[in-house]
Amino acid sequence: MASVLVPVLYVAIVFGSLLAFSSWYRRRNATKIYEPYFPPHRERDLYVTLLQKADPAPPESLLKAALVRRAMTDVSRILRIREDKPALQILLQKGSIGDDLWNSLLAAEKELEAEILEVAAEANSFVEGWGQLIFQTATEMMHNERMRGIYEQIPQMRATRERKYGRIATSKAIESATPASASPPLVFTPQKPASPAPSQTPASPKSTNGLAPPPSVGADSGLSDGESPASPASPRTPSKSSAKKAKKRK
């Protein structure tokens, strides 16, 4: 019987000590004040101050502008929490950071959720349904201010580059890059189209020795009327009458 009670008593003592320690640790963390993850919300304090001011009462347009500025700060904090929370969670699992920073982030996230609900309620108090659109408007205004800030920094960045590198060095580098013996660009002047050459009549064919071609074969008296003239290139065969006259002369 004693051998059974000893392990049971041991397990009860272990679990009881763990429960006591966990309850003490939770009470200690609940009463502990963590360092705020974000700086003080100045836009919220400004809006509350304007809202409580009664003599003279601020105009409604000023209150709306202060509320939009408050929503812009909330949007920037939402984006930062979305970027920082996964990285901090990985670092906490690796043991690179302590629980204080993680608990500070969680507390800031809960506070931001309450802030979003409060801003939406204040926007609906001015215009019904504005609470669903105020954060979209604040996001667009935040991007617009960021782009305007970059555009306004362009002259300052240009002056800094010129002081760092210098205009003279840049001009000398450009001059050295261009060759000195570069010929000027050719300018082509339009010319009138040449008139066509006068047509020439083809010259009469000549023989290789410069003499005129022989008369046509049809004018030869030696040919009879029934015989066809021979071509100029082919040699003429002697006719029968010419052969008889040659025999009589002999």
The pLDDT score that the predictor gives to residue 1 is 57
Q: List for the chain the helix, strand, coil content (%; round to 5).
A: 65, 0, 35
Residue 195 lies in a domain: no
Domain total in the chain: 1
pLDDT band at 209, cuts 50/70/90? very low
Residue 168 lies in a domain: no
pLDDT band at 29, cuts 50/70/90? low
Residue 97 lies in a domain: yes
185-202: pLDDT as tens digits:
444 344 554 544 444 444
Of 214, 215, 238, which is closest to residue 227 (Cα–Cα)? 238
Structural domain boundaries, residue 77: 38-163
Residue 223 lies in a domain: no
Residue 192 lies in a domain: no
Beta-carbon-side half-sphere exposure of residue 206 (alpha carbons within 13 Å)? 6
Residue 75 lies in a domain: yes
Residue 69 lies in a domain: yes
Contacts 24+ apart (CB under 8 A), 28-34: 29/103, 34/100, 34/103, 34/104, 34/107
Indicate the helix (H) or strand (E) that contains 24: helix 2-31
Cβ-count burial of 51 within 10 angstroms (0-12 exposed, 13-18 middle, 19+ buried)? middle
Residue 74 lies in a domain: yes
User: What's the pTM value of the predicted model, to 2 decimals?
Assistant: 0.54
The pLDDT score that the predictor gives to residue 176 is 58
